[in-house]
Amino acid sequence: MADCDDGGHTEHADEGWQLGFVDDPTDVRLLNSAYFPSKVGGKPAWLKLENLPTSDRLECTTCGEPLLFLLQLYSGGLFETDDCYHRAVYLFCCPTGNCCQAGRMGSFKAFRNQLPRENPYYPFDALPDPSEDDPDDKTGLVHSKQPLCIVCGVAGDKQCANCKRAHYCSKAHQSWHWKSGGHKTECSPDTEPFDGDMFVGFPELEIITEPEILPDTPERSEEERMKAYKKMVQDLKIDDTKDESLDEVKKMHKVDPKLLEFRARIKDEPTQVVRHKKGGPPLWIGNRQPAEGDIPPCSHCGGARVFEFEVLPQLLNHLKLDEDMSKDSMDFGVLAVYVCENSCSAGTEGYVDEIVWHNKVNAS
């Protein structure tokens, strides 16, 4: 049944759409792999604890530098197959602004992984939450079956030649750890194993999801649409003084209609950072949308790839780019992730490459 807000307008859930919002984690231990989190930043909470993406798959194809972990979404139950009881998609990005071009580019990469309920990594039944009264309670703490980069948490197939304890994904992260991460002063074969608290990346935040609720509003008249439009162009600091039709106002001010549509859809929940619905359609912010053939079929089973979720530019406000990155920092419009329509079993063997489409705001 539809709900009624304080203004007397009825509301309904747009069936299938889930919105993601970020918040500081209530307990960072719940962001460990065994609790199957959805999260932004920090280090990846890998689902399968081995056969991780290799470092060459995690390089920006434009600049060659290591990609950084952006977020992961847990979606167990999205596909009703035995090998998809647990399932997650991981998104990585290049933090360099010049690399973040529109279209299907290698500065954003997605990986899918899934597991049956009975697997060698996690218990059959859900674990209890760690004790709030005991900060040392390690319930749910699991360790990768292969070495991880101490700087970013991805597969670390390189190691320090001296201490042989610190592992890295790349020379770039090894150099950073030596110069800025303190390894120069602590490197010794007798050093205790590193706990991996030092990292280069984005702040760790929890993603909380809830259904999208849209108001049930009747079709508006031209006068009502004009009134709403004029308010929007006023918010955009556009001088709107002539008595023109809605289409004439749009043409006169060259306000991007795609951007206006985007803002209109998110206005009731302006802090959303993720939109999730298998099969879409995506909410675009610009005109550069995939044409037929731009999204290739799954390279493993041959099935078509379908839209699963998108990341909105509001997330940039939470990444502290100005504080931690150079002025040439990452920027994006909408990042739409396309996955195998079958979520095929290749995802149980390792981490399968999926497709990210970058939909940028139209150039003014």
pLDDT at 272: 98
Instruction: Give the residue-averaged pLDDT of 323-334.
Output: 72
pLDDT at 187: 86
Give the pLDDT band of residue 214 (cuts 50, 70, 90).
Answer: confident
Instruction: Give the residue-averaged pLDDT of 258-277.
Output: 94
Tell me if 344 sits within 8 A of 300, measured CB to CB.
yes
Lowest-confidence pick of 21-30, 87-96, 183-192, 215-224: 215-224
Instruction: Give the residue-averaged pLDDT of 72-81.
Output: 94
pLDDT at 239: 52
| Percentage of the residues of the chain whose pLDDT score is greater than 90 | 58
Pairwise CA distance, residues 123 & 273, whole Å: 31
When comparing pLDDT for 47 and 242, which is higher?
A: 47
The model's pTM is: 0.85
Q: Is the pLDDT of residue 224 over 80?
A: no
Pairwise CA distance, residues 115 & 124, whole Å: 12
pLDDT averaged over every residue in the chain: 86
pLDDT at 148: 93
Q: What is the pLDDT of residues 279-327, one digit of tens each?
A: 989 999 999 899 999 999 999 999 999 999 999 999 999 998 865 445 5
Give the pLDDT band of residue 22 (cuts 50, 70, 90).
Answer: very high
Instruction: Give the residue-averaged pLDDT of 328-357.
Output: 94
pLDDT at 101: 81
Nearest Cα to Cα of residue 308 among 95, 116, 130, 72: 72
Instruction: Give the residue-averaged pLDDT of 226-252.
Output: 59
DSSP for 14-44? EEEEEEEEEE--S-GGGGSGGG---EESSS-
Q: Is the pLDDT of residue 273 over 60?
A: yes
When comparing pLDDT for 209 and 5, which is higher?
A: 209
When comparing pLDDT for 238 and 173, which is higher?
A: 173
Q: Is the pLDDT of residue 9 over 60?
A: no
Give the pLDDT band of residue 5 (cuts 50, 70, 90).
Answer: very low
Residue 314: alpha-carbon gap to chain centroid:
12
Token representation of residue 306: 């379908």
Tell me if 66 sits within 8 A of 170, measured CB to CB.
yes
pLDDT at 6: 45
Lowest-confidence pick of 86-90, 238-242, 262-266, 327-331: 238-242
pLDDT at 258: 86
**Residue 167, CB half-sphere, CA atoms under 13 Å: how many?**
15
Q: What is the pLDDT of residues 80-136, one digit of tens each?
A: 999 999 999 999 999 888 898 877 778 999 999 999 999 999 999 999 999 988 988
130-to-35, 36, 123, 144 alpha-carbon distances in Å: 10, 14, 15, 20
Q: Is the pLDDT of residue 256 over 70?
A: yes
Give the pLDDT band of residue 8 (cuts 50, 70, 90).
Answer: very low
Q: Taking each helix axis from N to C terminus, what angle separates 222-235 and 257-266, rounded to the nearest 10 degrees?
A: 90
Q: Is the pLDDT of residue 328 over 80?
A: no
Nearest Cα to Cα of residue 203 among 335, 96, 324: 324
Q: 């580019």: which residue's tokens?
A: 105
Q: What is the pLDDT of residues 156-192, one digit of tens each?
A: 999 888 888 889 998 989 888 888 878 888 888 776 6
Cis peptide before 281 (omega within 30 of 0): yes
